Chain A
Amino acid sequence: MLHFYLAGINNQNFLMRDRETGTWWQQITGKAIYGPLQGAALDLVLSDELTFGQWRTESPSGQVLAPVAKYTKEYDSNWEPDVAKLPVVISFPGTELKSRDVVIGLTIDGAARAYPWETFAKQSPVLDRVNGTPLLLVLGPDGKSFRVFLRRIDGHDAEFFLQANSSADPAAQNKDWTLLDTTTASQWNFQGCATSGPAQGKCLARIPALKDYWFDWRNYHPDTTVYKR
């Protein structure tokens, strides 16, 4: 088992080292770039970026990392807008997006695609296909959480759309928020599981995706395509 610590910065993507071997690892790729374990790669664990409110409804017995009392003054809830103002050191002029545009990046069998957050949030749910793989990108009921799924039910490609939400009460939003698929006409929740209809009890497979700045995503995925609606 390795223990990692922050060891430096490589064009605004951090470098970590493990205490056991001193190997250098790149944050975004999980790859060992220098040292005794060079060439090795860490396994990516499926993770989510959600609002605390969304996660709370999904994980009633879940645990939350406690703030460290000594540093609570250093925590910045406005972190994202603050960082967005900072300068960048690499840029890709002539590409579709600006350096600090936020994208959802994903890779299917080596083919990378970036979904500009603005476009995605306006259009959600986004139905797309990368390398022949049918994808569903969906913004959560809170308008901030997101997930990406393989839109295939029992081996059949399916299309999804958002069922109109009749409730104006934010507390009920999560309950009323429903996706419908056109193949089985089942209802699906934000966790990608069918709550009613012929597919009830089934869940869509998850696709790992990363919320990142365009410059960083483009730097590590030079052949990435950019989704256009």
Chain B
Amino acid sequence: MSVPAPSTPQLQTPQTDRQGRRISFCLWTIFSLCALSAIALFFIPTFIIRPFRYQAPRALFLAMSLRQRAPLGTLIAALTCFVLAFALWRTASRWRKALLTLTLLVVTFSAVVARLNYFEWMFHPIAGPQFLAQADSKLDPKEMIMSVRLGGDARAYPISQMAYHHILNDVVGGVPITVTY
């Protein structure tokens, strides 16, 4: 880590110059660490919990613990990054400015997506489930359904629909259930 030589060295004592370098070095280090944390908090769980990939038990545990902390963690890290980038901006060279900008973009992306559930972009949840009397259903009699009967209420969940939405929160006969496929 080096800072470009000041353009007017004759005005500064070697003492303050060295101090300035040290402070700048510290700020850059903290910036890098914060940026790495924000990126890791989002990308490591995303990478581990990929569909069609093997999830080892310890990797899954790591993914869940990072994901659990990601919404708050990425926010703190991203805010710190922005404050530090602001402080470093004036003295930074053109390359460093580009690096700061790029890093801030990736960090912002991590902080935003860590608060979203991208699994629900693929499989949209059913917001307010509607039900039909069985006589009004256009379902083919050969189609498979999952069914429950609770407190005298019978409900059918067509598998073709559940295989897409995967999960549904419902209350049947007063019992709160979650239907999964």
By a beta-carbon cutoff of 8 Å, the part of chain A in contact with chain B is 1-12, 14-16, 22, 24, 27, 33-35, 42, 45-53, 55-56, 58-68, 70-71, 74-77, 79-80, 83, 86-87, 89-90, 142, 144
User: Which of B14-22, B77-85, B107-115, B163-171 lines the interface with chain A?
Assistant: B163-171
One of A6, A33, A59 near B117 (C-beta < 8 A)? A6
CB neighbours (8 Å) of B49 from chain A are 8-10, 15
- Cα-based distance from A66 to B131 in the complex (angstroms): 5
User: CB < 8 Å: which of A52, A60, A76 contacts B164?
Assistant: A76
CB distance from A165 to the nearest CB of B (A): 18
**Of B64, B154, B160, B178, the contact of A62 (CB 8 Å cutoff):** B154
Q: Does B96 contact A (CB under 8 A)?
A: no
* B175 within 8 A of partner (CB): yes
Which segment, of B25-33, B34-42, B145-153, faces chain A? B145-153
Starting from the known contacts A51-B143, A65-B129, 20 additional A-B residue pairs (CB-CB under 8 Å) come to: A3-B169, A9-B50, A33-B64, A48-B147, A50-B145, A50-B147, A52-B156, A62-B154, A62-B155, A62-B156, A63-B133, A63-B153, A63-B156, A64-B158, A65-B131, A66-B129, A74-B164, A75-B163, A76-B163, A90-B54
User: B164 to chain A: which residues have CB within 8 Å?
Assistant: 71, 74-76
Partner of A52, one of B51, B139, B178: B139
Q: Which residue of A lies closest to B137 (CB)?
A: A64
Chain A's nearest CB lies how many Å from the CB of B153? 8
Residue of A nearest to B147 (CB): A48
B130 at the interface (CB under 8 A from A): yes
What residues of chain B have their CB less than 8 Å away from a CB belonging to chain A?
45, 49-55, 60-61, 63-65, 67-68, 117, 119-120, 123-126, 129-134, 137, 139-150, 153-169, 175-178, 180
Contact A6 B166 (CB under 8 A): yes
Nearest A residue to B127, CB-CB: A68
**Which listed residue, A12, A53, A63, touches B142 by the CB 8 Å rule?**
A53
CB distance B54 to A11 under 8 Å?
yes
Query: Please, which residues of chain B bring their CB within 8 A of the CB of A67?
Result: 158, 161
Please measure, in the bound complex, the distance between the C-alpha atom of A228 and the C-alpha atom of B154, giving whole angstroms: 34
The reply to whether A6 and B134 contact each other, CB–CB distance below 8 Å, is no
